[in-house]
Amino acid sequence: MKKGFKTSEIKTLGLSSLGGMLEFYDFIIFVFFAKYISKLFFPEHLDSFWQILNTYGAFAAGYLARPLGGIIMAHFGDKYGRKNMFMLSILLMVIPTFCLGFMPTFETIGYLAPLLLIVIRILQGIAIGGELPGAWVFMNEHAPKNKLFVSIGFLTAAVVGGILLGSIVSLFIHLTYQDEAIAKWAWRIPFIIGGVFGIISIYLRKFLNETPIFKAMKERNELETMPLKKLFNQYKINSFISMLFTWVLTGCIVVMILLMPNFMATKFEASGYVKIDFIYLQMICIFLMCSGCVIYGYLSDIFGLEKISVVFGVLFCIFAGGYFYLVYNGGSFESVRIWYFLAGFFGAIGPTGAPFHMIKLYPSNVKYTGISFSYNIAYAISGGITPVLAAFANEKYPSLLIVYMVILGLVFLSSVFWFKSKKVKKF
């Protein structure tokens, strides 16, 4: 029977997870209050369509900045240390978020308001691009081998929990304040909260130690001068596999968590269900996915990564396929809800299946660069295409969504079998 975590391991896991949760909360809270930001930070003469389009354009700027931020931060993380970049990523996220909570609107500073809004999103995108790959590498090099996957699973569950935290805060604001008050000033509260807790997290991360693996590489003079060059020369196939895992991650988060609650609300509005019913569904699904991340990791440490990955992958295909079929073929709300929760639980193959495998695809001296490059490039591409594809399929060809999600499950399974084979060297 495995022993529990040591105090030092709990501290490292707790502080890393807390920072990741708050950082993703800061990044995602923007979208929950987009309709208010669109009216406050852009000219009044624009109609509502262009205001909201510009706001989501500013939001998208954060995604476009992710690859650049991730690659640059990973380069220095492989050269100068994981902890330094870990501190920088949260600093780049917290300061802009805090500033947004107090920033003057278009009425006060004119066109400087949307310009500063875009700058804030770019800085947040740079931060988020380096945070999650850095956190995975940091935990991989700190966690004991017999608790590696449950440690990364818990860390990733906390990061996904940042979306849940954003949902809870958004719900609290809307239940506490009238819409008029939110539009005037209450929309600032979530950003100020994120800034305050982020500053606390920065302080707490000071107590984290550099990873022993990086220290050993530095002492043995094994650090790479140009990690990206070595990545391109020796690990192309590993990076391709990592991108496939990231594609699955994007689908599970963007489609299952962010888009489907809205799609379901439209499908069931004639049955008397209202928007808040689906917000609650979304929150429960996020919680179940977080639980799945931890359980997936715990079982992988006991029975082996490949075996548990296959089990979770097969069950995801079954429950995701069944869920989407019921949504678009007249299934009852009660049955749709159950299948949604089960698909969400096994959808942990996305947020945790990706790091579980990616940490094994690169040697330590290019691990941060390899994971960050593959993850951020693939997320930028699939994250941009997936919402458009999903919205089109939801309106015109719902069967495409069923096929798409099952294909993602099969891509995951194929990548696991490829990973298991001798075609890739596992580190």
For residue 191, tell me if it sits in a domain: yes
pLDDT at res. 1: 39
Do 248 and 211 sit in the same domain of this protein? no
> Which are the contacts of 137, defined by CB distance < 8 A and separation ≥ 6?
77, 82, 211, 359, 367, 368, 371
CATH number of residue 271's parent domain: 1.20.1250.20
For residues 353 and 412, the answer to whether their CB atoms sit within 8 Å is yes
Question: Which tens digits make up the pLDDT trace of 168-192?
Answer: 998 899 889 998 999 999 999 999 9
Would you say residue 222 has pLDDT above 80?
yes
Out of 168, 201, 223, pick the residue that ends a domain: 223
For residues 152 and 139, the answer to whether their CB atoms sit within 8 Å is yes
pLDDT at res. 49: 66
Do 93 and 112 sit in the same domain of this protein? yes
Question: Which tens digits make up the pLDDT trace of 231-242?
Answer: 999 999 999 999
For residue 166, tell me if it sits in a domain: yes
Question: Which tens digits make up the pLDDT trace of 314-332?
Answer: 999 999 999 999 999 989 9
Task: Provide the pLDDT confidence category of residue 130 given band limits of 50, 70 and 90.
Answer: confident
Q: Which two tokens stand for residue 344?
A: 């969400």
Do 109 and 200 sit in the same domain of this protein? yes
For residue 135, tell me if it sits in a domain: yes
List C-alpha distances in Å: 183 to 45, 172, 327. Answer: 18, 15, 34
Amino acid residing at 164: L
Report the alpha-carbon distance of residue 67 to residue 41 in Å, rounded.
Answer: 26
Report the alpha-carbon distance of residue 94 to residue 103 in Å, rounded.
Answer: 14
For residue 2, tell me if it sits in a domain: no
Residue 3 neighbours by CB distance under 10 Å: 8
Do 192 and 123 sit in the same domain of this protein? yes
Question: Which tens digits make up the pLDDT trace of 27-50?
Answer: 788 878 877 887 888 887 766 666
Mean pLDDT of 360-386: 90
Report the alpha-carbon distance of residue 373 to residue 281 in Å, rounded.
Answer: 34
Residue 202 neighbours by CB distance under 10 Å: 17
Do 191 and 236 sit in the same domain of this protein? no
Do 397 and 417 sit in the same domain of this protein? yes
pLDDT at res. 114: 87
Bigger pLDDT: 388 vs 244: 244
For residues 314 and 346, the answer to whether their CB atoms sit within 8 Å is no
Do 279 and 360 sit in the same domain of this protein? yes
Q: Full-prediction pTM beyond 0.75?
A: yes
Out of 188, 223, 258, pick the residue that ends a domain: 223
* Strands (E) located in 192-282: none
Please count the CA atoms within 13 angstroms of the CA of 247 that sit on its side-chain side: 21
Out of 162, 196, 223, pick the residue that ends a domain: 223
Mean pLDDT of 398-423: 91
Task: Tell me the average pLDDT of the chain.
Answer: 88
Low-confidence winner among 7-11, 53-57, 420-424 (lowest mean pLDDT):
53-57
Do 277 and 178 sit in the same domain of this protein? no
176 by Cβ neighbours in 10 Å (0-12 / 13-18 / 19+) ranks as: exposed
List C-alpha distances in Å: 356 to 59, 82, 242. Answer: 29, 18, 10
Do 109 and 180 sit in the same domain of this protein? yes
Do 44 and 76 sit in the same domain of this protein? yes
Report the alpha-carbon distance of residue 187 to residue 216 in Å, rounded.
Answer: 47
Would you say residue 312 has pLDDT above 80?
yes
pLDDT at res. 27: 76
Return the closest-CA partner of residue 398 out of 347, 332, 330. Answer: 330
**Domains held by the chain: number:** 2
Task: Provide the pLDDT confidence category of residue 140 given band limits of 50, 70 and 90.
Answer: very high
The residue range of the domain holding 286 is 226-422
For residue 427, tell me if it sits in a domain: no
Rg (CA), the chain: 21
Low-confidence winner among 100-104, 286-290, 340-344 (lowest mean pLDDT):
100-104
Q: What is the DSSP letter of 329?
A: T
Do 246 and 372 sit in the same domain of this protein? yes
Report the alpha-carbon distance of residue 209 to residue 138 in Å, rounded.
Answer: 10
For residue 1, tell me if it sits in a domain: no
Cα pseudo-dihedral 319, 263, 30, 11, rounded to 10: -10
For residue 413, tell me if it sits in a domain: yes
For residue 365, tell me if it sits in a domain: yes
Do 17 and 51 sit in the same domain of this protein? yes
For residues 257 and 24, the answer to whether their CB atoms sit within 8 Å is no
Q: Which two tokens stand for residue 119?
A: 């700058």
Sign of CA dihedral 246, 327, 286, 162: positive
Bigger pLDDT: 74 vs 296: 296
